[in-house]
A and B are shown apart, each in its own frame.
Chain A
Amino acid sequence: PIRSVSVDLNNDASLLIDIPDALCERDKVKFTVHTKTTLSSFQKPEFSVPRQHEDFIWLHDTLVETEDYAGLIIPPAPPKPDFEGPREKMHKLGEGEATMTKEEYTKMKQELEAEYLAVFKKTVQVHEIFLQRLSSHPILNKDRNFQIFLEYDQDLSVRRKNAKEMFGGFFKNMVKSADEVLISGVKEVDDFFEQEKTFLLDYYSKIKDSTAKAEKMTRSHKNIADDYIRISATLNITMSFVSLQKVEGRVASDQELKLTELLRYYMRDIQAAKDLLYRRARALADYENSNKALDKARLKSKDIPQAEEHQQQCLQKFDKLSESGKKELTSFKGRRVVAFRKNLIEMAELEIKHAKVRSSIQLYYICFIMCTNELQYAWGICKILCEQI
């Protein structure tokens, strides 16, 4: 079962989505999006389509741009697949092939392939979660573009281009100045939102910091693991205890990786919640401006009905955003705490499993070194034990 960073998704049988496989061609990853549904709005009960990362981004952006969803937290877009790390290492390995022994080269190549595979699995998972978040949201799962994304069996790139032309960088620019809107503070009328704003701004900066620091820590672990690979490749049999260290290193980095991913995911989620606050703050600003415009119109006795209508529209929009926003933020809070705890428990299970394995291996290993006096035998036994992990 896939352990997701969010709470269990994909439970509703009326719309089940998953990514059963993906292909990697050079830079491009082609995901196979598979849908199973009982809804009549779809043409078939079960179908699959190929999609690229850019298609996901298109879907996310169109949802963000949709006025009707301004009061919702749009699930964060999946990050671009990043094979840069393992690819660079592969390149270096290729360059240094001449200076290594055949065994060294093979070992390192294997490790790199494993790393590559891990990145690949991660990116598939993250894209899958995005879709599953959408399918489990009562409003977003009815979105027309979402349906097109799931169903349309042709290339989406034409639509993507059109969308870009329409929206361009408009929203992006808006978001950039949104921070100032929030902070410079239109006076907040609602306590709930005032508190949320304070909390989210602070929490976001802290979690962003923690994520960055966690990533650095994970990278250090990786570096150490790489060193051990080079050591074990150089020494072969003589220093087989290095394989124990490899296990330890990999275990430690797995733990940190899990924590890092949890932090990273929630950082992005909180950004999405912040975006909601921005939009509401914008609506509030618009409403305030419309009030001022109405006053001016009344003063000048000119265009009063339009100004009144405009003011009403702004108020309605603002109220709608506030109502929906409150609901979304409250449920988001609960979801986040639940998900954090669930992940922490999963990490606890991992800790315990690995600790037991580690200590057993080390005990066996020391015993055999002392008993046999033959490191070759100890190595053989150790290898067998390691395989059992």
Chain B
Amino acid sequence: MAASSDRNPPPFPASEEPETGLCDMADGDSDEGEDIFVNNVRLRAFLLLLLCPSFVQSTPVAVSRGVSQPDQVSEEPPDLFSEEEAISTAPTLSTTAKSNGVHSDDENDLFAELLAAVDCFHSGISKGYFVLPPLELKCGLLYYCFQQLEEEEAKDSFDVDVSVTSPEKIGDGMNAYVAYKVSTRTSLNMFRSKTFFVRRRFSDFLGLYEKLSVKQSLHGCIVPPPPEKSVVGMTKVKVGMDDPSSVEFVERRRAALERYLQRVVSHPSLLQDPDVREFLEREDLPRAVNTQALSGAGFLKMINKASDAVNKMTIKMNESDTWFEDKFQEVENEEQQLRKLHAVVDSLVNHRKELCMNTAVFAKSMAMLGNSEDNTALSRALSQLAEVEDKMEQLHQEQAASDFFIFAELLADYIRMLGAVRGCFDQRMRAWQRWQEAQSTLQKKREAEAKLLWANKPDKLQQAKEEITEWEARVTQYERDFDRIGMTVRKEVLRFEKEKAKDFKSQIIKYLESMLQSEQRVMIHSHSKAYVYVFYSGVEGFSPESWQRVYYIPDG
């Protein structure tokens, strides 16, 4: 999951990544400074926030430049928030970026850069465009610094980075399928090169999971589960990939596959598995069969089958170490909670979509009302209001998409993951069971031997002794297996928890960032709403002074 935190939120709908893009990332370190500046979502969000106008009670502040007559008001105020604006007023940031992309440990350099940025903003402030209260500025500074530090941290731990992009429909009709481009970027020597890519289809991913789970889960490994099959979704895509619900489905699946692969490669043991390497590298992968079992329902069934086996165990385990029992309980509780939460988030997404629709309908209705209005100025105001509401609808739409992609998908992933965690606890129980059964078999053999001793049958006795030796070895083996699985499970769970915390945090931040971006646009629209409201006044009792108090307009 190394550099994935740098990745922009999934574009919606999925867009083509240029072929050269990945190579640039790998060796384009000289462009790093500019890349950070232009491409980094967080930095942009930060700049947008710094540029957002803050209204100070005592001093009049100009938010728009030189808007004097109401008739000249355009829909939105001149775009002070454009990135071009930011870049041109802060030349120092891109030019002083370190040339080979490796930032020095010297924090003073970072601060110097930042102070240069502050200078630019201050110049803007002195021109009267915006005012920043000092506390906000300090917070902004801190934000920038720590964000830079985190990026460095992230880069240091970079080993393998995978991405899943460019979904392409291959073939026609019911045999059609979607092929994804799986690109790998790595510093490890075990791969054939530093960057490469292959084409894979959904069943290939399922096939990988099947191979891994058969091998690894026996050792107590938590094998990340793949996204679920969807007959409905795929049928729609087979029919046509162009309508919005198909586009959404493919994008959702692409993002889920990417997260799945990233979890696989960031797992140290799984990364070593030859099947994983083959999946990433091999040009022609043999088609995976038997993936029918791996539909969403099938996967759950598999997990529950293991649980059932455990529940049916007649010999109850006597835990010397309560850690496992407690952890298992925790996992179950957490899964419950996430399911509950997921249900609420689903409801949230639906309500947002509803809001979207209702806003659009309302906007049209307001437009009609504006047309009906016989007072000209008010009519114009209502019509403009309708247009703004229409734009708000777009924002609601995007917010819904973001809620869904970032929030809901995260929850769904972890509900599945917790299922996998439960699975590995069950594997440990099975190992214990095997050991106990072996012990009881050994006991029976010993009893049999004792009987034979009494009955005095030397040849049978020899066989019995051999069997005893065999079973003694097995018991030892199974005990060792059990201990080993116990240790692995422990390690895996701790690793899982750490990764989960990191994952949640980075997703929350991504979610906040997308909220910030949409918040910024909401503010632009709310400002234009305010313009609409104010400029169409000029009514008895509302003098120019009184509406200047409401919204600050410079003279002239």
Contact = CB atoms under 8 A, between A and B. Distances in A.
A40 to B, nearest CB: 32
Interface string B524-548: 0011011011101101111000010
B550 A352 contact: yes
B146 A234 contact: no
A207 interface: yes
- Identify which of B143, B355, B515, B540 gathers the most chain A CB atoms within 10 Å of its CB: B355
Given A348-B529, A348-B534, A367-B140, A355 B366 contact: no
Contacts of B511: 241
A210 B369 contact: yes
A359 B519 contact: yes
Given A207-B369, A214-B362, A227 B150 contact: no
A197 to B, nearest CB: 13
Interface string B333-352: 00001001100110110011
A333 B375 CA distance: 9
A213 B358 contact: yes
A302 interface: no
Interface residues of A, number: 57
Interface stretch (A60-68, A141-149, A276-284, A334-342): A334-342
B365 A371 contact: no
Given A206-B365, A234-B340, A367 B536 contact: no
Contacts of A248: 519
B344 A231 contact: yes
A189 interface: no
A111 interface: no
Contacts, number: 175
B368 to A, nearest CB: 5
Contacts of B504: 238
B247 to A, nearest CB: 24
Given A234-B340, A341-B537, A217 B550 contact: no
Contacts of B136: 360, 363-364
A183 to B, nearest CB: 17
A209 B371 CA distance: 14
A266 to B, nearest CB: 10
Contacts of A362: 49, 512, 515-516, 519
B139 interface: yes
A75 B541 CA distance: 24
Contacts of B116: none
B58 to A, nearest CB: 15
B374 interface: yes
B378 interface: yes
Given A216-B358, A345-B537, A367-B143, A210 B366 contact: yes
A133 B536 CA distance: 26
A359 B369 contact: no
A259 to B, nearest CB: 9
Interface string B494-529: 000000000011001101110110011011001101
A95 to B, nearest CB: 17
Interface of A: 199, 202-203, 206-207, 209-210, 213-214, 216-217, 219-221, 223-224, 227-228, 230-231, 234-235, 238-239, 241, 244-245, 248, 333, 337-338, 340-342, 344-345, 347-349, 351-352, 355-356, 358-360, 362-371, 375
Given A214-B362, A367-B140, A370-B509, 14 more contacts: A220-B359, A223-B355, A224-B348, A231-B344, A234-B340, A341-B542, A344-B381, A352-B526, A352-B530, A355-B526, A360-B136, A362-B516, A363-B136, A363-B140
19 contacts: A199-B372, A206-B365, A214-B365, A220-B358, A223-B354, A228-B348, A234-B341, A341-B542, A344-B532, A351-B530, A355-B526, A358-B523, A359-B54, A362-B519, A365-B512, A367-B139, A367-B140, A369-B508, A371-B142
The 6 A-B residue pairs with the shortest CB-CB distance, nearest first, are A220-B355, A348-B533, A367-B139, A344-B533, A348-B530, A227-B348
